[in-house]
Amino acid sequence: MSPLLSGALSFGVSCHALAMLLTLRRLLQGPTAQDRVLALDYLYVNGMLATLVLGMRYQSTVYFEVALLIAALGFVGSMAMVKFLLRGEVIE
């Protein structure tokens, strides 16, 4: 791997980590429940993207499978949170 690509991938991971920290702050102190759900969505998307960048950096396909799992579980979790906020219950 070239030094330029390695540096760019390291920069990408650090940017995603910073975005995750700022999102975690919004998740903990969000003024409304909707802000917190949106922050949770953004947090799992950033986690998935950071995992993909790490997969490119270490040239391993396991990271891509983990990113797919993060995306699927994050989507299901987001739908459950939205349903709870709209109806007050998750399981009918």
pLDDT of residue 55: 94
Residue 66 resides in a domain: yes
| pLDDT band with cut points at 50, 70 and 90 for residue 90 | low
Residue numbers of the domain that contains 54: 3-87
Distance, CA of 87 to CA of 2 (rounded, Å):
52
Q: What is the pTM of this model?
A: 0.84
Contact 13, 57 (CB under 8 A): yes
Distance, CA of 78 to CA of 84 (rounded, Å):
10
Residue 92 resides in a domain: no
Tokens of 11: 């920069």
Residue 31 resides in a domain: yes
Tokens of 68: 């797919």
Residue 63 resides in a domain: yes
Residue 62 resides in a domain: yes
Total domain count, the chain: 1
